[in-house]
Structure 1
Amino acid sequence: MTQATAPTGHVQGGIGAKSPRTPRIRGVLALMALLLAVAGTLFGGAAPASAHAALLGSDPAQGSVVDKAPTQITLNFSEKVALSDGSFKVLDPKGQRVDTGKPAELTGTMYGVKVQPGLPRGTYTVTYQVVSADSHPVSGAFTFSVGAPSATTVSASGQTVGGGVVGGLYGFARYVSYAGFIVLIGGAAFILACWQRGAAERAVQRLVVSGWVALTSATLALLLLRGSYTGSGKFADVFDLSLVGQVLQTKAGAALVSRLLLLAAAALFVAVLFGAYAKRDADGEERAGAANGSGARKAASGGDGPDAERAATKQDLTFGLAVGGFVVAAGLAATWAMAEHASTGIQTGLAMPVDILHLLAVAVWLGGLTTMLVALYRVPSIGKPAVQRFSRVAFASVVTLVATGVYQSWRQLGSWSALTGTAYGQLLLVKVALVAVLVGVAWISRRWTARLTDVPAAKAQRTAQKKRVTAKASAKGGGSNASRKGASDASERTAQLARQRAAMAAARAKRLRDADPARSGLRRSVLTETAVAVVVLAVTTALTATEPGRTEEVAKAATSTAAQRSGPLSLKIPFDTGGQDGKGTVEVTLDPARVGANEMHLYVVRPNGRAFDVPEVKVAFTLEAKSIGPLPVVPDRIATGHWSASGVQIPMAGDWKIAVTVRTSDIDQTSVSKNAKIG
């Protein structure tokens, strides 16, 4: 993920429970469904991924006409690209391949492929399909001509990669992988930093485990889809093991495999978090409750030593899980940073660590918000201290997101014009607008939080918890005297009665919670905030698949330079053939004075400015820097002193020498010349 999502670190407190589906709740759910549909539209209607490596130039140049057939075609990209055997194809006018050998890196960002010697006259099409340094496929085509242009049966549009069914599936898998990462890392961070008791809650456990499953499944899908996504685009090639083997040798493949290995370590982390860690916390609560329920306060007070030891052990376990979890989370974030935007362009040594921090901050904020939402709707209680701790953590995430996001925006855009003039900048503006909505919803959440009055509900909840623990303690005490049937039956009845009282207390606590309109309003605002965040995540995923504004502007500048027109060229060259009435001036105009076909006009005038009727005029073009020419042009006489020629071919841009030969009589003629930049 790239630019900052500027979430708010608002305070959300109180005790939440699943409330009945009132008309207001149904309205909020409908809003969430609408926002999810918008997110789906971003993927369903998205075009194929834009190229992140731009073709800056080629030799022969696009649309040029060369006098001598080339022996090699070279292409210059804006960044390094990965090649395969079929990355470059050169096709003759009938669509037959004339390239020989494999494409090769020549120097830096320049690549080439050999062609058959002595290519005949005609128009040739060059198609290319490569993978940019940030792992996105790039394709395109251009034409050049040998001798003169000709008709061709080959389409110059080139093969489009990154689209179709495979492209759609690949984009969806990328979205799921981001979502899984956020839920997995953010949920675990929320438990360890804010709400340790949440490790024992089934709803929270299911949420975090579902994040791990989603990220693992999406990573496997990306690994299978990658070969077809960057190649043929055919769904049948998804299960081609030879393509998977090729993917494993690329940077993107290495990142995906590294992610799978780190997910194995994450599975161990989750197992400890929801196993030994959750059980230790639950056992501690049960022991404390049993001691209070049996009235054995002296025994409890006498156990300060063991209790302190258990607390220290739990603290050590928390610290170990936090350190191990951070290492795994940073490693997972690095698998995106090492293969996408941050890994190429300017300042990569700084951009990659910044990208890792950005991803971690997003996961902590958005994953914590999702866990909070689940707790408000599915968990019997969540204390205000946990929510207040999350508020502080969320604020730190906001600061990190803003700092890293501003840097990433500058790095990917490069100029203010790219903010509105490129697809990347326009998507970024959409994201900023959605974040503004998030800020507004967060402000509403803070207002609901300030109105919470959860003291009666919290008291009833504590009473219910105490009675549940008492029931367990009574059941254990009766089991120790199982030899006496009467005592056992009495103990069982006591435990059953305690369970009934605990259920009644829990129901009373739920009624008290649901009677608080502030708590219902908080749940709705958090739900709306999460729904908007889902769309923000969709826009962010689309941003990572869009050509950065800086690269797009460089490509536009290169294309504009290559196709630049100097406008109609006009040169006035005086001449003197040496004979009687042999002086005058010839004016040469070339329109549009660019690479390719041009229209030329020559006007011959006497020193007094009147038309000069000369018997013959000839022109020759020479590009001495490239040893091209002279290319002769014999114009046709249109009128007195006016000569013209159409279809004058300029094969490439450069400083051309234009030589004009004027004959004023049977024996008097001269050649004059002048240099001019064309194209």
Structure 2
Amino acid sequence: MTRVLAFLFVLLTAVLVLPAAPASAHAATVGSNPAPGSVIGTSPSEVTVTFSEPVTPVDGRVQVIAPDGERISGKVEGGGNVIRIPVRKASKPLGTYLISFRVISADSHPVGGAITFSVGAPSARPEEPAATTGPHPSVAVAVPVLKTIGYAGVTLIVGPALFLAFLWPPRRSRAGASRMIRIGLALTAAATLGALGTQAQQGSGSPIWTLSAGEFTEVVTSQYGLLLLGRLVVLGALAVLLPPLLRRPRRTVTVPQTVTAPVLVGAGAPAPQPAPAVKPQPQVTPRRARAGAVLALGAAGLTTWPMTGHAIAVPLPAVTVAAGVVHMAAMAAWLGGLVTLTVFLLRGTHERMLGVIMPVWSRWAALAVVWLVMAGAVQAVIQLGSLPALWQTGYGRLLLVKIGVLAGVLAAAAGARRMVNRARNGRGLRRTVVVEVAASVLILALSSILVQVDPGRSASANDQAVSGKGMSETLTSNLYTVQFNIYPVELGEYNTVHAFLYRPDGAPLQAEEWQVSARLLDPALEAVQQPISGIVPGNQALGSLSFPLAGTYEVVFTIRVSEIDRASVKTTVTVGT
């Protein structure tokens, strides 16, 4: 027993420490205009970046940097999957430009990156602004911890409330369970406020302690912030409505009354006759109305979780949101009930009373597990997108770990159920339930990480994401200077080379003949001539390079600038390693 709990504690600690790395992005960059790595003739008045999902630009974190490092972007316009960035003409327009962006995806997670394009000819890439990728370590740690606290808070509300309402022994004090509900409300509220406080820092990449009033206001007035404010309102209402509903019900004694007609004194007076019975009319009692309000508020509060996560950014959001609510409600009822049993009821309750409570709870727990598994299966199918994503993506592998832990918990639950059916409510049952609770806490931690990891359905979009990869370089001989760009520098035949030729004094130079070759250095192979031709009139040439094997290639440009003047320049390119 002690060894099992120690193992679960170590595993839980590892799970909470591992997410310190930045969370994966959930919207991929799938295109831009100008295209990534492209070379265009004139400076654009607007650039666009296209994503696989709707995004919201982070204020001040979407920029276009000119070749000399000057920021030339204006106010960003976002609409759906595309962000538009107006740009003014740079003071030195020729060279390589950098589009640096940071946006918030539809499921509230940050996405950062950079794309380059060139005007006239490639040049050195401008320095990328700081904090364009990944959240600050303080935020990366705080986010999953806050989510775990929020999930724990919900379980501490639902489980004790369920027992106090339906299964609480009449002679046991309700103070401890009521206190646990208040703790659950406080934890959930704290986690929600923490989520509001870290959302802006997720977007900006800044430390958690640098939150400004303006950033907090921007978050609060967004859809994400309004949903979390709604959750806080629900928690406040539950704090008022739940305590009176869960107090020990008062026993009232009804004294039957016989209503008779007036008695007439005197001869010939008729015998007293009972008044006609009045059929009672069904009424909605204040207690029943309060219970209905609590259920409605609870459902509304649970809805805010999937609506601020993965579930809202899928092809079937209504299905995934509904499945998310059912999944979380079933988890909270099951795990919260186990915690209530472990902390309050398994010790100090007469075995005869446990013999009444445990069979009912066992049936409820089994039903909660069925709904938990069904809702989880719906979510997994939609979020994974394909069966291979189960073992090919980080999301799928983490899901497999969660399923494995869940299987162990269900095995422990099955053992506890057998003990209940055999009326064994002693030490063995307590030990089994404690292990079940400990493993379930690990499932909560895994869930808090899972909502931060890129879903399997996004893997294909990320595989197609543009990254601005490629290479630009300037080579010089005594006859000329050549600037060139190779894109995308990948294995295969489809690598475009775009070159620009200049005199030593910087004036454009038109070549008489262009040649380019590529040779693998290790293992050493013969140089292979590659197709390239000049663009007339002008100082440009366009061609392609083939890299059939991974390794380092020597690329040689041989350019004839007159009938007799010819020179070669060379560089190396590493491909696929």
Partner amino acid for 2:533? V
Asked if structure 2 preserves the Cα contact closer than 8 Å seen for 1:357 and 1:400, the reply is yes
- Structure 2 counterpart SS, 1:129: strand
CA offsets, 1:362-389, max 9 Å, x none? 1111111211212345553453232222
Q: Which deviates more from structure 2 when the two are superposed, residues 416-425 or residues 31-40?
A: 31-40
CA offsets, 1:276-300, max 9 Å, x none? x3252xx57xx9xxxxxxxxxxxxx
- Structure 2 counterpart SS, 1:98: coil
Partner amino acid for 1:251? Q
Gap runs ≥5 in structure 1: 1-26, 288-301, 306-311, 454-517, 571-587, 593-598, 604-617, 623-627, 636-643, 649-664, 666-679
Asked if structure 1 preserves the Cα contact closer than 8 Å seen for 2:53 and 2:81, the reply is yes
Q: Which of 33, 41, 56 does residue 67 from structure 1 map onto?
A: 41
**Shift of residue 69, structure 1, vs aligned partner:** 2.7
1:225 — aligned with what?
A: 198
Q: Which deviates more from structure 2 when the two are superposed, residues 219-228 or residues 334-343?
A: 219-228
Q: Which of 525, 529, 544 does residue 601 from structure 1 map onto?
A: 529
**Shift of residue 560, structure 1, vs aligned partner:** 9.8
Distance 2:401 2:364 in 1: 26
Say whether residues 1:169 and 2:142 are aligned partners.
yes
1:568 — aligned with what?
A: 493
1:497 — aligned with what?
A: none
Asked if structure 1 preserves the Cα contact closer than 8 Å seen for 2:200 and 2:216, the reply is yes
Say whether residues 1:202 and 2:175 are aligned partners.
yes
1:538 — aligned with what?
A: 445
Q: CA 1:564–1:556 in structure 2 vs 1: closer, same or farther (change >3 Å)?
A: farther
Distance 2:543 2:303 in 1: 65
Partner amino acid for 1:568? E
Q: Which deviates more from structure 2 when the two are superposed, residues 156-165 or residues 122-131?
A: 156-165
Say whether residues 1:278 and 2:248 are aligned partners.
yes
CA offsets, 1:476-507, max 9 Å, x none? xxxxxxxxxxxxxxxxxxxxxxxxxxxxxxxx
1:263 — aligned with what?
A: 235
Say whether residues 1:327 and 2:296 are aligned partners.
yes
Distance 1:130 1:354 in 2: 27
1:521 — aligned with what?
A: 428
User: When you count helix as a share of all residues, which structure comes out higher?
Assistant: 1
Q: Which of 18, 32, 35 does residue 58 from structure 1 map onto?
A: 32
Say whether residues 1:440 and 2:407 are aligned partners.
no
Distance 1:436 1:629 in 2: 69
Asked if structure 2 preserves the Cα contact closer than 8 Å seen for 1:185 and 1:364, the reply is yes
Distance 2:543 2:318 in 1: 59
**Shift of residue 130, structure 1, vs aligned partner:** 0.9
Partner amino acid for 1:268? V
Distance 1:160 1:168 in 2: 16
Partner amino acid for 1:410? V
Asked if structure 2 preserves the Cα contact closer than 8 Å seen for 1:376 and 1:523, the reply is no
**Shift of residue 316, structure 1, vs aligned partner:** 5.5
2:65 — aligned with what?
A: 91
**Shift of residue 406, structure 1, vs aligned partner:** 1.4
2:100 — aligned with what?
A: 127
Partner amino acid for 1:364? A
Q: Among the aligned pairs, what percent are the same residue? A: 30
**Shift of residue 349, structure 1, vs aligned partner:** 2.4
Partner amino acid for 2:140? G
Instruction: Return the TM-score normalized by structure 2.
Output: 0.74
Q: CA 1:634–1:164 in structure 2 vs 1: closer, same or farther (change >3 Å)?
A: closer
1:420 — aligned with what?
A: 391
1:154 — aligned with what?
A: 127
Partner amino acid for 1:329? G
Distance 2:256 2:430 in 1: 40
CA offsets, 1:320-373, max 9 Å, x none? 454232212101111112221111220112222222122111111111121121
Asked if structure 2 preserves the Cα contact closer than 8 Å seen for 1:53 and 1:78, the reply is yes
Asked if structure 1 preserves the Cα contact closer than 8 Å seen for 2:131 and 2:204, the reply is no
- Structure 2 counterpart SS, 1:42: helix
Q: Which deviates more from structure 2 when the two are superposed, residues 112-121 or residues 131-140?
A: 112-121
Partner amino acid for 1:141? A
Q: Which deviates more from structure 2 when the two are superposed, residues 254-263 or residues 396-405?
A: 396-405
Distance 2:283 2:144 in 1: 42
- Structure 1 counterpart SS, 2:426: helix
- Structure 1 counterpart SS, 2:318: helix
- Structure 2 counterpart SS, 1:74: strand
Q: CA 1:378–1:66 in structure 2 vs 1: closer, same or farther (change >3 Å)?
A: farther
Asked if structure 1 preserves the Cα contact closer than 8 Å seen for 2:114 and 2:467, the reply is no
Q: Which of 547, 550, 557 does residue 454 from structure 2 map onto?
A: 547
Partner amino acid for 1:355? G
**Shift of residue 45, structure 1, vs aligned partner:** 2.3
Say whether residues 1:363 and 2:291 are aligned partners.
no
What root-mean-square deviation, in Å, do the aligned CA atoms of Structure 1 and Structure 2 show?
3.9
Q: CA 1:602–1:97 in structure 2 vs 1: closer, same or farther (change >3 Å)?
A: closer
1:78 — aligned with what?
A: 52
1:99-498 pair list within 5 angstroms? 99=73, 101-105=74-78, 108-117=80-89, 120-152=93-125, 154-155=127-128, 159-195=132-168, 197=170, 200-238=173-211, 240-274=212-246, 277-280=247-250, 319-381=288-350, 382-452=353-423
Distance 2:193 2:11 in 1: 26
**Shift of residue 43, structure 1, vs aligned partner:** 2.5
Q: CA 1:186–1:158 in structure 2 vs 1: closer, same or farther (change >3 Å)?
A: same
- Structure 1 counterpart SS, 2:206: coil
Asked if structure 1 preserves the Cα contact closer than 8 Å seen for 2:61 and 2:102, the reply is yes
**Shift of residue 71, structure 1, vs aligned partner:** 2.4
**Shift of residue 270, structure 1, vs aligned partner:** 2.3
Distance 1:591 1:254 in 2: 58
Distance 2:178 2:16 in 1: 30
**Shift of residue 537, structure 1, vs aligned partner:** 0.7
**Shift of residue 554, structure 1, vs aligned partner:** 1.8
Asked if structure 2 preserves the Cα contact closer than 8 Å seen for 1:164 and 1:233, the reply is no
Aligned length: 485
**Shift of residue 94, structure 1, vs aligned partner:** 4.5
Distance 1:35 1:229 in 2: 30
**Shift of residue 561, structure 1, vs aligned partner:** 13
- Structure 1 counterpart SS, 2:85: strand
Asked if structure 2 preserves the Cα contact closer than 8 Å seen for 1:51 and 1:136, the reply is yes
Asked if structure 1 preserves the Cα contact closer than 8 Å seen for 2:39 and 2:118, the reply is yes
Distance 1:535 1:268 in 2: 31
**Shift of residue 169, structure 1, vs aligned partner:** 1.8
**Shift of residue 409, structure 1, vs aligned partner:** 0.8
Which structure has the greater CA radius of gyration?
1
2:11 — aligned with what?
A: 38
Say whether residues 1:619 and 2:533 are aligned partners.
yes
1:660 — aligned with what?
A: none
Q: CA 1:36–1:359 in structure 2 vs 1: closer, same or farther (change >3 Å)?
A: same
2:481 — aligned with what?
A: none
Asked if structure 1 preserves the Cα contact closer than 8 Å seen for 2:55 and 2:80, the reply is no
Gap runs ≥5 in structure 2: 258-280, 470-487, 496-514, 520-526, 545-553, 564-577
- Structure 1 counterpart SS, 2:204: coil
Distance 1:426 1:104 in 2: 37
Distance 1:198 1:92 in 2: 76
Q: CA 1:91–1:388 in structure 2 vs 1: closer, same or farther (change >3 Å)?
A: same
Distance 2:390 2:240 in 1: 44
Distance 1:150 1:198 in 2: 81
